[in-house]
Amino acid sequence: MKLATPLFLVLLAGTADAKPRVVLDPGHGGSNLGARGAGVHEKQLTLELAHRVAANLRERGIEVALTRDDDRTLTLRQRVEVENRIPADLFVSIHANASPTRTQRGFETYVLTARGIDVDGRALRSDATTPRPNVDADTALVLDDVERGASQWEAADLAARIQRGLRDRRGHEGDRGVRQDAHHVLLGATMPAVLVEVGFIDHPIEGRELVDPAVQAELAAAIATAISDQLSD
């Protein structure tokens, strides 16, 4: 079945200026609720945070596209398509965590690793990859992998900046570090891509903090500043 083209793809199609551009991916949405705690679903928190990060970035003159701008279900394939088709400098997916015992807390940021380049990833992007005129299919796959490798260093840089920003505002004890994982949403990424878990929404204390507008503003500022610093380096 052909996937509908999200409206923002159409809106961005005609722009050719050199403004830095970021894709923000609010985790979950629609029937995909995500984790639950503090009276909200993860999908609500991630959208609120993404809107705050987007506003902050736009104030700095950075162009922002969202994989979803409202409460809708996005398949993994749709997220990957957006990620690959919008020419952007960075991709940041925003999530909140949960733990079986509701006792864990803190924040962590994931970067794409080479382990993400696997058969499934190739199959997934086989019809969504960047067209490469005059390059045969096998060579195109190799080029994709080379680009992904280069993106990984920048993604690691960005992840470290986000962690530092969150640590400065949320405290050292919550720092769970930068992690490398072939997180599913990052499969197919051809730009530096990270996934930030801002905190544990089901922790009795941290969950309440995450829905506090003042804390949300802090989280958004930390993420936006890290992105802005990364783009200006």
Instruction: Choose between 62 and 178: whose C-beta lies nearer to Zn ion.
Output: 178
> Looking at beta carbons, which residue is closest to Zn ion?
95
What CA–CA distance (Å, rounded) separates 75 from 5? Answer: 13
Burial 178-217 (b: 16+ CB within 10 A, else e): bebebbebbbbbbbbbbbbbbbbbbbeebbebbbeeebbe
CB of 42 to Zn ion, least distance (A): 5
Instruction: Choose between 27 and 37: whose C-beta lies nearer to Zn ion.
Output: 27
Instruction: Choose between 34 and 106: whose C-beta lies nearer to Zn ion.
Output: 34
CB of 199 to Zn ion, least distance (A): 12
Residues that bind Zn ion (CB under 5 A): 27, 34, 95
**β-sheet with 107-111: strand ranges across:** 63-66, 21-26, 90-97, 193-200, 107-111, 175-180
Torsion of CA 24, 28, 30, 34, to 10 degrees: -150
CB of 72 to Zn ion, least distance (A): 16
Instruction: Choose between 43 and 85: whose C-beta lies nearer to Zn ion.
Output: 43
- Residue 220, SS3 per DSSP: helix
CB of 95 to Zn ion, least distance (A): 3
